[in-house]
């Protein structure tokens, strides 16, 4: 009875391993095809567009109190600069 249980566990493990290897092989083959397609497009002169969800926008810089109180950091309207001269 124990021998049949061990044999069944080994068989189930072998099937699971085989399915995992086949899945990895199929995913790898698909990724390789995508890379080959992109390489062919680059050789042809096309630039692939980056998907919108892959583009990370930079967070705006925080203005601190020290930066806001510096006189040289304040923005002066262009009209007041031109009339001062």
Q: What is the pLDDT along the chain (85 residues), one digit of tens a residue?
A: 999 999 999 999 999 999 999 999 999 999 999 999 989 999 999 887 777 766 667 665 666 666 556 666 556 555 555 555 5
What SS3 class is residue 57?
coil
* Structural domain includes residue 51: no
* Structural domain includes residue 31: yes
Give the residue numbers spanning the domain of 23. 1-44
Q: How many domains are there within the chain?
A: 1
Q: How far apart are CA 9 and CA 17, in angstroms?
A: 12
* Structural domain includes residue 55: no
* Structural domain includes residue 25: yes
* Structural domain includes residue 82: no
Q: Is the dihedral of CA 16, 17, 23, 27 positive or negative?
A: positive
CB-based contacts of 38, cutoff 8 Å, min separation 6 = 48
Q: In the chain, what are the helix, strand and coil shares in percent, each to the nearest 5?
A: 70, 0, 30
* Structural domain includes residue 16: yes
What does pTM read for this prediction? 0.49
């Amino acid at each position: 009875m124990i021998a049949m249980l061990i044999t069944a566990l080994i068989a189930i493990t072998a099937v699971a391993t085989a399915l995992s290897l086949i899945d990895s092989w199929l995913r790898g083959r698909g990724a390789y095809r995508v890379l080959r397609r992109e390489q062919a497009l680059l050789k042809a002169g096309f630039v692939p567009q980056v998907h919108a969800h892959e583009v990370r926008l930079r967070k705006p810089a925080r203005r601190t109190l020290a930066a806001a109180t510096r006189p040289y950091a304040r923005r002066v309207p262009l009209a007041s600069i031109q009339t001062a001269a």
